[in-house]
Amino acid sequence: MYEDFASKLAATMWADFDDKPDRTDGHPAEITDLSTTVIDGNFPWTIVTVETDEGVTGIGEAYPSPGVHEVISDYLRPVLVGENPTDVERLYNLMRASLSGRGSQQGIGTIAISGVEIALWDAAGKLLHQPIYQLLGGKMREEVMVYADCHAGEAMVESAEEGQQEETYQPEAYARAARMAVDDGFDLVKFDLDVPSGRELNRKSRHFDPPEIEHKRRIVEAVTEEVGTDAEVGVDLHWNFNPETAERLCRAIEPYDLAYVEDPLPPENVDALRELKRRVDVPLLTGENCYGRHDFRDLIGKQAVDFLAPDVPKTGGIAETKKIADMAEAYYQTLVPHNIGSPVATVATAHVGATVPNFYGLEYHAREVGWWEDLVVGDDLIQGGTMAVPDEPGLGIELDWNVVREHEKS
């Protein structure tokens, strides 16, 4: 039933996209199947596989989200089987057309499309014998900076002894965690700053009183003093502050020369963010809750932030994120992509980062997952705080499916 509905929508509403291009151009491969595999990482990493009749398999990754498997198997698979996997741009629009009114612009539908789009680029690169960055126009950097998401408090609270949980949220614990990351070679480290202080009053109001603000300032002070000029420091506020509290907090931490303050306000109101940016003297970053280029349009056009954090397995994929970067470049905004994924999502993001000038660094959120690197055959991808952009065709990595199966979510 779903198959008929999806195909009919694509065929009737967007007939232009249903015209298959000439198959005599030397790229006759056809898509034969789409499937998903969920790895039980620190998030459910959803690997998307696109099979072709040439024996080439493309891999992608969709943002962790319930329902992605169903969208891919019930809606996107019937639309894509039989299509040429190297027609990535056309198939992206075909997928969006097939989900029109049901997630083509935001949400699970766009997440599913993102995972498939990345897998299509991987398959296309393998079929055309080119790395993805080359298909995007070539790389302008050999390696990309990777920053460490440290999560000192939360990660340590789980392992803390009874009665010691409060200590893990003290400034000294953050300073120690920062030093460990810097000693591992990271040049940019990030911490959550919306963490418990022990005197939570009414957090739902998003108003924090002066002692709470002081607790956050002391964390920033301890971390930046420990790190010195060895690395930059960013902080994440996870949308938990109202404008007056965000302004007081930003003013309190202005002296510490942070790389950026991430998500100080709830994500829906771009004008509020722009006003905050006007009133405080810290760089602002947002974007992990946004989907395609249209979602980013106001953030860019209104110059509401300094840094944008698109998430490639969520925005619509590799090409959509490059388009967001290109729009942002016209306003001198810089990309620091969000990434909580497996090596597949991370390398996909690196290919975008390699090909646009306004890319600074991408997030690495899996330092506590000891087998993250084992998912890929060969040397470690991340060396210190950088990652080489793979030169092999497609994404340029090969998953070790034995390790994937070992950690597959049942």
Interface residues toward Mg ion, by CB under 5 A: 236
- 92-118 exposure pattern, b = at least 16 Cβ within 10 A, e = fewer: bbbbbbbbeeebbbebbbbbbbbbbbb
The two structure tokens encoding residue 188? 């940019």
Which residue, 140, 137, 142, 146, is CA-closest to 181? 146
Sort strands 361-364 and 382-383 into parallel, antiparallel or unpaired.
unpaired
Report in angstroms how near the CB of residue 216 gets to Mg ion at its nearest.
Answer: 16
Nearer to Mg ion, 187 or 236 (CB): 236
Do 68 and 364 meet the contact criterion of CB atoms below 8 Å apart? no
Burial class (CB in 10 A: 0-12, 13-18, 19+), 60: buried
- Report in angstroms how near the CB of residue 115 gets to Mg ion at its nearest: 20
Q: State residue 127 phi and psi, 5-degree precision.
A: -70, -30
Least distance CB 43 / Mg ion (angstroms):
13
φ/ψ of residue 47, rounded to 5: -85, 130
> What sign does the CA torsion over 147, 152, 154, 157 have?
positive
Least spacing, CB of residue 287 vs Mg ion, in Å = 9
Q: Which is nearer to Mg ion, 234 or 343 (by Cβ)? A: 234
Strand partners, 307: 285, 334
Neighbours of 161 (CB within 10 A): 7
Least distance in angstroms from the C-beta of 95 to Mg ion: 27
Residue with the shortest CB distance to Mg ion: 236
Cβ contact 147:190 at 8 Å? yes
Which CB sits closer to Mg ion, 221 or 236?
A: 236
8-state DSSP, 231? S
Cross-strand partners of 146: 362
Tell me whether residue 75 or residue 296 sits nearer to Mg ion (CB atom): 296
Q: Closer CB to Mg ion, residue 75 or residue 239?
A: 239
Least separation, in Å, of the C-beta of 277 and Mg ion? 17
Q: Could you tell me the two tokens for 38? A: 């969920």
Closest CB 91 distance from Mg ion, rounded Å: 30
Q: Which is nearer to Mg ion, 99 or 284 (CB)?
A: 284
Angle formed by the axes of helices 318-329 and 343-355, nearest 10°: 40
Which is nearer to Mg ion, 131 or 341 (by Cβ)? Answer: 341
CB of 375 to Mg ion, least distance (A): 23
Name the residue nearer to Mg ion (CB basis): 260 or 359.
260
